[in-house]
Structure 1
Amino acid sequence: MIRQYELVDRVKSYDNAIKEDALNRAYVFSMVAHGSQKRASGDPYFSHPLEVAGILTDLRLDSDTIITGLLHDTVEDTVATIDEIQVQFGESVARLVDGVTKLSKFELQSADKRQVENFRKLLMATSRDIRVLLVKLADRLHNMRTLEFIVDSKKRERIARETMDIYVPLAERIGIHAIKNELEDLAFAELYPDARNTICKRLEFLRTESIETEVKAEISVELINALKNSGLVAEISGREKKPYSIWQKMQRQNVEFAQLSDIMAFRIVLKDINQCYQALGTIHGNYSCVPGRFKDYISTPKRNGYQSIHTVIIGPHKRRIEVQIRTKEMDEAAELGVAAHWQYKHKASATEKEIFEYRWVRELLDILEHANDPDEFLEHTKLDLFQEQVFCFTPKGELIALPRGSTPVDFGYAVHSEVGDCCVGAKINGRLVQLHTKLGNGDQVEIITSKPGIPSPDWEKFVVTAKARSRIRRFIKNKEQKEYQRLGKAMIEKSFSKFGFKFSENALEIIVAKLKMQNLNELYISVGRGNYTANSIVEFVLNGEFDENINKVTSSNRVSSTLNGTNSMVDAIPIRGLIPGVAVHYSNCCHPLPGDRIVGIQTPGKGVAVHTIDCASLESFHEMPERWVDISWDLESTAEMTHTGRLNLVVANQRGGLASVATVVANGLGNITNLRITGRTATLMEMLLDIEVSDSKHLNDIMASLRGIAAVSKVSRVIQ
């Protein structure tokens, strides 16, 4: 453990305004408060806040933040109070500890709810003072470093998944790559141990391989000499990409490790920006560069403030090598991110204006304020946090940064919510384009608007930003609610007529009270959705008899319809957008899974066939738009169901090859229902594998684990 004087000396080394007395008192306060408490590892609990404080000193943060690290668990886990902390350490520390403590309270909720509420609370606390996030990241980092001591494997997996989904992208967003990389690697080791071990072994082999050692030494000398001849003095360091980064690239490009070409990278640190561009010219003058791999983040920084020039060159032995060029200040900011920009030496906290300079926080909070479904909020924000960027301009020259793959609709919502809602067309560089057109770097985008704004549900299929999806879904939800309300009321009116009575809203107030609903509209919506039958509602009004459990339609035996018509019981196919009673089946050509984007094709006499949106079979229906049905998954209904996905594998023809595949599938909670060998040589077997899974994400996780098996050389999903 860090000793008291060592912690103080660390802060003294970079902070002239150190609060030495307060630091010493906080050290003792935390040690006494935690007393004899123990960690899962058996270490004194006090070792945890002490390690958190140590991590915060590595970020060179102010005394109040270090004190918060020491005290962050005292209110939650001991008898200490916020008032006591405020009296002893001041309002700033009390506010920070309170912010971190409130987050901890959600640890006791159910897994899904806790994760979402943690994210919500974290964003709200961060909007007031970013140091809350810095303390939480340090807290999570030490917890991940000691994750192995938790006996419950499911709890370890949950913590690792939450780390990968929330804390890694947040650390990346505020530019603290040192913490982001370590969190990522620790979570990767827990979630996909086989894949990580395989990659680490191959990296170790490359380090010892003579040709790789030669290339690294040769390029280092060549770069130093080339820059020296141009009058430049630089710090040059070589590095290899992180295991998780390599694995992500393998997943994204569907390639094996041996097919990756730019595992090695060099970082060149120079005095100023002019020297960075001079060095770039020197390097491109001495080496061939790889087209399409040049990125200038100095002139157009990332949203987290990251600045550097990236280029990929052809080095010795025709090896592709990534080169990063930056100044010393940029290099420090790349590791410490927001911690390198915020100085707290003489102020209590970051102001609201300062934190809102980070556009992503503003956007996420806007979504948070209007999100009806917390799971939907989490889905969008995780997606948005990880995206790479493109930089576009408004007609007035304002720079708009968007995730890669964004469309004019995303651009419109980034300019203003009303611009997105009222979008009816777009021009890119003066040319009219379709709204699903992907934007490129440097595009000038003009949004054509018309009031009143009516977002199209089709937009949700191609937009990529969380803000756009949130606004579109909000519009769709409001429209659906009105349609369900109209449909439910019409069904009840028809049922009254069927029994020979006149429709009466006053009479319905009794059932509204019995079902503990807010008002009649909620009853209409519930009937319109198919949660209750209209007949059962009217029978109760007329006879006073109503069995809620018998008359309630469960999510497992209904399909919600947003179309005009009467809702009724249908087959247990979890699809929204179908006319009740229509026959529906999954297509064998593409094996759609919940989470896939899907479309329905009407077939006379057979009902609706469900296909994935990229199924090759759909090409034959391009000239028959009248047979296409706009459908989506009813995710509520899919929760307890299993579905079959099909994989194509190429496995080494050796003893234990198939056994290792079966073990990985079983460990991933999948169930092999069919296996067919489609080809065999002396060294390889190709096979089709049908696996029961819960959704597309479940199948992707199993595929990722299969790629980590040394005997498996190819894994792909079958979507013909």
Structure 2
Amino acid sequence: MSKEKRDKEDELLIEKEFNTLIQYYLNSNHRRKIELITKAFNLANEAHKGARRRSGEPYILHPIAVAQIVCKDIGLGSTSICSALLHDVVEDTDYTVEDIQALFGEKIARIVDGLTKISGGMFGDNVISAQAENFRKLLLTMSDDIRVILVKIADRLHNMRTLGAMLPAKRHKIAGETMYIYAPLAHRLGLFAIKTELEELSFKYENPEAYNEIADKLRASYSKRNAIYENFAEPVKERLDTEGFKYEIKARDKSVYSIWNKMQAKSVPFEEIYDIFAVRIIFEDKPGVDERKQCWDIYSTITSIYRLRPDRIRDWVSRPKSNGYQALHLTVMGPDGEWIEIQIRSRRMDEIAEKGFAAHWKYKEGKIEEDNELEKWLKTIKEILENPNPNAIDFLDTIKLNLFSQEIFVFTPKGEIKTMALGATALDFAYELHSDIGDHAIGAKVNHKLVPLSQRLNSGDQVEIITSKNKQPQPSWKNIVTTAKAKTKLESALRKQRKEATKRGEKILNEIFKKSQVEFSQPILDRMLDFYKKNKKEDLFYAIGNKEIDLPERAEKLMNLKKSNSGNLLVRYMKQALHAVKKQEKMQPIAVIKEKQDEPIDVKKTYILEEEGLQKNYKIATCCSPIPGDNVFGYLTENNEVEIHNVTCPVGLRLKSNFGNRILTVKWGSYVQDSFLSTINISGIDRRGMLLEITQTLSASGLINIKAVDIESKDGIFEGKIEVYVHDVKEVQKLCSQITKIDGVQSVNRVIGFKE
């Protein structure tokens, strides 16, 4: 194809996508500012002219796609759309933030500046993890303008949709950090549809074999599920029509990722997951009738037809989730003998469930101003940022504590409702009320009964916190608090406490030497550190200030301290020297997995895991214990060792999110000598000789060594696990297939366990 023809086709494609964006915008409920959006598009189009993405398409199609997501899927207005169109201009071209401000005003310039700083990685060499710093900066921008994080989520979604063009190691990094932080953030902001798509795409690229296997089984079993749905829905439609409801009823399959998650959690195959789909009933509001009443009217209609399962009612209508989600969930026994989950929502509730808080705007009269609505929205989520911890990785982990937590509702003595994370303690509740209440808490009354601060709370509990002015926060409380908010406030109080005690200790020590008119020198300090077994002077001052050390009144006694452990000082100096050596070593690129002896590790290459290199050139991570044939990646440790992790390992997920520059693409070679431990779950109907037949099948396999067989039988049903040494995944699959053929065996599957 000639360059002229290609350029013409590109222009037509760009124009088509931009017109689609404008159409999305015209269908929204925001004030019309088409001229401003067109101006932003023209600048971005000119700035990115000639640039192409790795996939080969014109670069401008990426910002247009991000702007489409911002408008259509999140529901934002012109300010965010312009920012999305311009989000890469400052980073990738000669335009500056000042240029953007002069042309589009302060708000758009501030958002573009925030996005540029997040992407740019503007950090020094001493940063532990540039990725974690990026996330920290991303989260902190929420307090400045939440649109920065919303545009960034849209940017990430489009990057995930086009991830196939990236190198494998880059795919691991991007998919890992998407699953670790972007999907939970989307969930926390109520962007359920985006959260689900981010998870699906991450899982698809990280674990393509498992994804395709489940997707194929979903397609193959569709007709069966559809028949169950039709039998269930027919009488429901008939009754709702009679009662005058305007509604939409549909069956919606769970995502591939959520099905896989359930399979792992329960150690069962796809065929034993029974709640693969849920029925959703979305009704149009009847004028003058309360939404909640209509939800319960439909609930009554359904339960008059089908038998209800009482323990599966979830009322998110009366008390919405913290991310704005509202719906009434129930489970009934369908006509085919299957339990069916039903979600009842109004059209407004459904929009909010899919798009988050921004969907509220659609239901406001007249053309709304984006800025005013964002300010209200920001108040509902700002607490997630209350973390003064300077360490970026700790900050990220603290944020993670509450992103996916389920919720309970707890009452104050005056009847005020507080939403807490599932598993929250009385001490969490104290800090939820106020920092001072938490810092001085000594106990609690739950439902008028005295309990310790470690007491876990349940929904409906009424909690009163008992305080004392003499009480101070204790380091042991770190084992009691569970919420990010409480952990943050406690750490802040302990840091302040330690700082005060350290200053107090230094003052006491200086006064002793001043009183004795003796100079407090470094040799005396070293002698004291040695005698009191402290590594740093701050630790010594803190121990003195905290009354852990009783000092003599005269400095002369401190000068003549006998060495209680003569090696202590030497050990300290040796540690310092060793640290310096290690620091020097880290600067040298040391090859671990090598193609040639003198070749350093290259993260852009794919390395073959040869059998003779096990433990010498690489090692298997104990947190997930992958075996040959599993989908894996490599992680280059600080000690220049390569750890091999399963792609779905939670520990590996954290590594991909924080240290993407150390992720390696690896593939298994062939394994003959080395064997790996694998666990198989088995269950079925018991009969005489069953255990003997299972062990004979195991023995007949030849190459497989049995470590343990633990099977129990009760009331004619047996279940248990078998631990065997295998060379690869194929051997496990072959063994499972052979065991499945035994008469009475119902379920056989490999267990993939993870340890944090």
Partner of 1:452: 470
| Distance change in 2, residues 1:6/1:475 (3 Å) | closer
Which of 298, 301, 323 in structure 1 is aligned with 2:320?
301
Are 1:43 and 2:57 an aligned pair?
yes
Per-residue CA deviation, residues 615-664 of structure 1 (Å, 9 max, x unaligned), is xxxxxxxxxxxxxxxxxxxx9xxx99xxx99763248999xx99xxx9xx
Partner of 2:83: 68
Q: Residue 523 of structure 1: CA displacement?
A: 8.0
Please list, as runs of the form range in 1=range in 2, the aligned pairs for 1:135-214 lying within 5 A after superposition: 135-151=151-167, 153-209=168-224, 212-214=225-227
Are 1:431 and 2:445 an aligned pair?
no
Partner of 1:688: 723
Q: What amino acid maps onto 2:444 in structure 1?
A: A
Are 1:32 and 2:32 an aligned pair?
no
Per-residue CA deviation, residues 549-602 of structure 1 (Å, 9 max, x unaligned), is 2597989xxxxxxxxxxxxxxxxxxxxxxxxxxxxxxxxxxxx9889xxxxxxx
Answer whether contact 2:264 2:752 (CA < 8 A) is retained.
no
Alignment length, in residue pairs? 578
Answer whether contact 2:334 2:340 (CA < 8 A) is retained.
yes
Q: Provide the C-alpha distance between the structure 1 equivalents of 2:678 and 2:486, rounded to a whole number of angstroms.
A: 33
Which of 101, 104, 109 in structure 1 is aligned with 2:119?
104
Answer whether contact 2:191 2:353 (CA < 8 A) is retained.
yes
Further displaced range: 477-486 or 96-105? 477-486
| Distance change in 2, residues 1:645/1:347 (3 Å) | farther
Q: What amino acid maps onto 1:121 in structure 2?
A: K
Partner of 1:267: 280
Please list, as runs of the form range in 1=range in 2, the aligned pairs for 1:166-565 lying within 5 A after superposition: 166-209=181-224, 212-270=225-283, 271=285, 272-341=291-360, 347=369, 349-350=371-372, 354-358=376-380, 360-362=381-383, 364-367=384-387, 369=388, 371-474=389-492, 505-507=520-522, 521-522=537-538, 549=577
| Higher-RCO chain (CA-CA 8 Å, sequence separation at least 6) | 2
Are 1:23 and 2:37 an aligned pair?
yes
Partner of 2:672: none
Q: Residue 78 of structure 1: CA displacement?
A: 0.7
| Distance change in 2, residues 1:66/1:550 (3 Å) | closer
| Distance change in 2, residues 1:546/1:193 (3 Å) | closer
Any gaps of 5 or more consecutive residues in structure 1? 491-501, 512-518, 556-591, 596-634, 663-671, 692-701
Q: What amino acid maps onto 1:131 in structure 2?
A: R
Q: Provide the C-alpha distance between the structure 1 equivalents of 2:707 and 2:536, rounded to a whole number of angstroms.
A: 56
RMSD of aligned Cα (Å): 4.7
Q: Residue 317 of structure 1: CA displacement?
A: 1.6
Partner of 1:570: none
Q: Residue 37 of structure 1: CA displacement?
A: 1.7
Structure (1 or 2) with the larger CA radius of gyration: 2
| Distance change in 2, residues 1:372/1:102 (3 Å) | closer
Further displaced range: 6-15 or 396-405? 6-15
| TM-score between both structures, scaled by the size of structure 1 | 0.70
Equivalent position SS for 1:505: coil
Any gaps of 5 or more consecutive residues in structure 2? 1-12, 286-290, 509-516, 527-534, 545-563, 584-620, 625-654, 663-674, 684-693, 712-718, 738-747
Further displaced range: 185-194 or 41-50? 185-194
| Distance change in 2, residues 1:374/1:204 (3 Å) | same
Q: Residue 192 of structure 1: CA displacement?
A: 2.8
Q: Residue 118 of structure 1: CA displacement?
A: 2.2
Are 1:121 and 2:140 an aligned pair?
no
Are 1:649 and 2:671 an aligned pair?
no
Q: Residue 201 of structure 1: CA displacement?
A: 2.5
Answer whether contact 2:357 2:377 (CA < 8 A) is retained.
no
Answer whether contact 2:442 2:466 (CA < 8 A) is retained.
yes
Q: Residue 68 of structure 1: CA displacement?
A: 0.9
Q: Provide the C-alpha distance between the structure 2 equivalents of 1:149 and 1:246, rounded to a whole number of angstroms.
A: 27
Q: Provide the C-alpha distance between the structure 2 equivalents of 1:466 and 1:507, rounded to a whole number of angstroms.
A: 41
Further displaced range: 84-93 or 307-316? 84-93
Equivalent position SS for 1:217: helix
| Distance change in 2, residues 1:546/1:183 (3 Å) | closer
Further displaced range: 41-50 or 252-261? 252-261
Q: Provide the C-alpha distance between the structure 2 equivalents of 1:107 and 1:142, rounded to a whole number of angstroms.
A: 23
Per-residue CA deviation, residues 356-384 of structure 1 (Å, 9 max, x unaligned), is 421x422x2212x2x14332222221121
Q: Residue 309 of structure 1: CA displacement?
A: 0.6
Q: Residue 200 of structure 1: CA displacement?
A: 1.8
Answer whether contact 1:294 1:310 (CA < 8 A) is retained.
yes
Answer whether contact 2:331 2:341 (CA < 8 A) is retained.
yes
Answer whether contact 2:498 2:542 (CA < 8 A) is retained.
no
Per-residue CA deviation, residues 517-569 of structure 1 (Å, 9 max, x unaligned), is xx9844858999xxxx997997999xxx99952597989xxxxxxxxxxxxxx
| Distance change in 2, residues 1:351/1:222 (3 Å) | closer
Answer whether contact 2:133 2:393 (CA < 8 A) is retained.
no
Q: Provide the C-alpha distance between the structure 1 equivalents of 2:406 and 2:292, rounded to a whole number of angstroms.
A: 23
Q: Provide the C-alpha distance between the structure 2 equivalents of 1:207 and 1:448, rounded to a whole number of angstroms.
A: 57
Q: Residue 196 of structure 1: CA displacement?
A: 2.3
Answer whether contact 1:129 1:349 (CA < 8 A) is retained.
no
Answer whether contact 1:407 1:463 (CA < 8 A) is retained.
yes
Equivalent position SS for 2:481: coil
Equivalent position SS for 1:312: strand
Equivalent position SS for 2:310: coil
Per-residue CA deviation, residues 93-127 of structure 1 (Å, 9 max, x unaligned), is 11221121121122888997233222222222122
Answer whether contact 2:680 2:722 (CA < 8 A) is retained.
yes
Partner of 2:597: none
Equivalent position SS for 2:280: strand
Partner of 2:67: 53
| Distance change in 2, residues 1:63/1:356 (3 Å) | closer
| Distance change in 2, residues 1:255/1:19 (3 Å) | same
Q: Provide the C-alpha distance between the structure 1 equivalents of 2:676 and 2:454, rounded to a whole number of angstroms.
A: 29
Equivalent position SS for 1:321: strand
Partner of 1:8: 22
Q: What amino acid maps onto 1:366 in structure 2?
A: E
Q: Provide the C-alpha distance between the structure 1 equivalents of 2:519 and 2:623, rounded to a whole number of angstroms.
A: 41
Answer whether contact 1:593 1:645 (CA < 8 A) is retained.
no
Per-residue CA deviation, residues 23-48 of structure 1 (Å, 9 max, x unaligned), is 22211111111122221112121111
| Distance change in 2, residues 1:412/1:140 (3 Å) | same
Answer whether contact 2:176 2:202 (CA < 8 A) is retained.
yes
Q: What amino acid maps onto 2:346 in structure 1?
A: T
Q: Provide the C-alpha distance between the structure 1 equivalents of 2:754 and 2:85, rounded to a whole number of angstroms.
A: 52
Equivalent position SS for 1:357: helix
Q: Residue 339 of structure 1: CA displacement?
A: 2.0
Partner of 1:563: none
Equivalent position SS for 1:390: strand
Answer whether contact 1:455 1:472 (CA < 8 A) is retained.
yes
Answer whether contact 1:290 1:314 (CA < 8 A) is retained.
yes
| Distance change in 2, residues 1:145/1:356 (3 Å) | closer
Equivalent position SS for 2:312: coil
